[in-house]
Amino acid sequence: MKTILITGGTGFIGTNLCNRLIQDENNKIICLDNNYTGSLKNIENLIDNSRFKFINHDVINPIEIDEKIDEIYNLACPASPASYQGKHAILTTKTCIYGAINALDLAVKNNAKILQASTSEIYGEPLVHPQIETYFGNVNPNGIRSCYDEGKRCAESLFFDYYRIYGAKIKVVRIFNTYGPKMDKNDGRVVSNFIYQALLGKDLTIYGNGAQTRSFCYIDDLINGLIKMMATQDDITGPINLGNDGEFTISELANLIKEKINPSLNITYKPLPSDDPTQRRPDISKAKEILNWQPEIKLEDGLNKTIAYFKGII
């Protein structure tokens, strides 16, 4: 039986990954989280499973596991501006850097594969479009988003140093905007914001003029990509972009959600936050070639599933 550790396992992506991996009876899942942005409610359906174990732990501190670990998915980190800006900025940087070091140390000790959930935010306000993995990015090193952007960039650096120095079996993926069930309705990301506002009958709030673009990947597609990346041979390290290469303006997204929930709602506009990228779309050529992976779920279908989930929790 393969033992898999998922740090950040009660968060949005971690919860969905736990549920997917537990379906294979050859897997034992250890979910590690301090529930800072995750929730135990997200894994309550797994608690009684004999092949599932939850550990309440902050990855800023060294990770001690009593059993042999075969694979580690390092997902632990606040992932939305609402959770990592302001007073939580230093904590976010610590989570990115200390969390990476502690997870890597555990991986080296166990000779385990380890996957780092990096982010499209490492590209900053991109001057190359779509974003390809060889692009070094255009990141503000001291802005209000820098704790996350630079934290993730440093974590990537640590992963490749551990690979070069200690022979760590690393996998690095850069995740673009992802949405779907188990999102926190208050996490501040655009899909959950619009759906939550619309279901409550409130105006949809767009920051900026709505012309900025994003690419939206449904969670099931992302999970498939993570698992495929983990299954690659040791010489496949990444980084590899994982995201949907369809591109939509924020206005298009708002109107699509409004039409699905309540066409009579209005849209209001507020100033664009500092360092918020105006364009974001992944080049997924590597994922297609190396992983034989590409998104399959269209935005409209994914939104229908996400809206249904939100209706059930509001």
CB atoms within 10 A of CB 101: 17
Asked if 145 and 93 touch (Cβ cutoff 8 Å), the reply is no
Peptide bond into 130 cis (omega under 30): yes
Sequence letter at residue 278: T
Name the residue among 79, 75, 2 with its Cα closest to residue 32.
75
Name the residue among 1, 56, 6 with its Cα closest to residue 31.
6
Residue 138: CA count within 13 A, CB half-sphere: 13
d(CA 291, CA 163): 20
In the chain, count H helices and then E strands: 9, 13
d(CA 214, CA 120): 11
Say whether 148 is catalytic.
yes
CB atoms within 10 A of CB 1: 10
d(CA 40, CA 56): 10
CB atoms within 10 A of CB 140: 14
Task: Label residue 25 exposed, middle or buried (CB < 10 Å: 0-12, 13-18, 19+).
Answer: exposed
From the candidates 84, 98, 123, 148, give the one annotated as an active-site residue. 148
Active site residues: 148
